[in-house]
Amino acid sequence: MLVIGAGAWGTALGVVLARNGHTVSLWDSETAHIERLREDNRNHRDLPGIDFPAGLKPATDLGSGLYPAGDVVIAVPCPDLPDVLDRLAEITPSRLNICLACKGLASGGPLLNHQLVGERLRNNASVAVLSGPSFAAEVARGLPTAVTVASEDQNTAEYFARLFHTGVFRAYTHDDVIGVQVGGAVKNVMAIAAGIADGLGFGANTRAALVTRGLVEIIRLGVTLGGRQETFMGLAGLGDLVLTCTDDQSRNRRLGLLLAKGMTVDEARAEIGRTIEGVRTAGAVMELAGKYAVEMPITEQVARVLAAQTSPSEAVQALLAREPKAESL
């Protein structure tokens, strides 16, 4: 089995799979990083204190671990997904089983991540997506976690759920692959908003309102794109949203906190030092919202803050100044 992406999340998922008895090759485009992992037998940079199980081996060869089953877990930042898929298309003529663990949007265009796989691999892959409330450090430490594995093909969802499922890592299956992806992507934008509000000192009432109305925006977009409303009441919707909006392990929430303190986006990103999916996702979501005429006022204000078109305090005031209306989806 091959796990692509040796950041915190990819490493944590590799640890789960190896602890579950699978042989796992962990590959990353940063060759120097992989060499350090091989030397240390742990990922000091992203998951300090977690030793690799015997079955987890960092690999410099992208094809390592692909055969015989052709199972691939992809946990790279979403902007890197197209390049990863193109590389896979070059090295394998056989059909792959791919589980996407990228929480975001790979492009600002009309394709969701699972659709991008079909385009780049010419539909030569069975695809599932894994999402839900899950911080990598807690997963790697073996703390109880529940996620959703979704696919348009139930057999594929069940296949990957069985690979991941352990006594402390519970994997539920789902068939709403669109809804699960939208929930996992847009919650990052809402976490930035929650961080901004908390950083400005607006308190628990404001945070609760942002989470609730943020969920409404996620549902609006997800249903418009073909997802089902009930999906967003589950782990990949409400569960992941609450987690990332309320805990400072979330990079997106921390970004919002730093922006509220007066940092620029570049300064805040440098302070955090890791990929923050919500920065890019906010713009991509606004493109989709514009294309399909979906009202997403919180997302719009976050995108404006990230583009330095308004300040965090002005963004909150713009939301508060909206005309009163009936509470609805």
Q: What is the pLDDT of residue 299?
A: 97
Q: Which helix (H) or strand (E) is 179 found in, with range? A: helix 177-199
Q: What is the pLDDT of residue 108?
A: 52
Active site includes 187?
yes
Each residue's pLDDT tens digit, 290-304: 999 999 999 999 999
Each residue's pLDDT tens digit, 94-130: 789 999 999 888 765 667 999 999 999 988 899 999 9
Nearest to 195 by CA among 254, 265, 277: 254
Q: Which residues pair with 4 in a beta bridge?
A: 27, 74
Question: What are 151's two structure tokens?
Answer: 């696919």
DSSP string, 108-150: SSS--HHHHHHHHTTT-EEEEEEESS--HHHHHTT--EEEEEE
- In order of start, what are the domains of the chain with their CATH numbers? 2-175 (3.40.50.720), 186-320 (1.10.1040.10)
Q: What is the pLDDT of residue 101?
A: 97
Instruction: Give the residue ranges of the chain where pLDDT is below 50.
Output: none
Residue 252 near residue 244 (C-beta atoms within 8 A): yes
Distance CA 280, CA 306 (A): 9
Residue 39 near residue 74 (C-beta atoms within 8 A): no
The tally of CA atoms less than 13 A away on the side-chain side of residue 68 is: 0
**Catalytic-role residue among 57, 103, 187, 261:** 187
The tally of CA atoms less than 13 A away on the side-chain side of residue 27 is: 20
Residue with tokens 């390592």: 64
Residue 89 near residue 120 (C-beta atoms within 8 A): yes
CA distances from 267 to 155, 255, 313 (A): 45, 10, 18
Q: Which residues contact 117 (CB under 8 A, 6 or more apart)?
A: 85, 98, 100, 125, 127
| pTM exceeding the 0.75 threshold for the entire prediction | yes
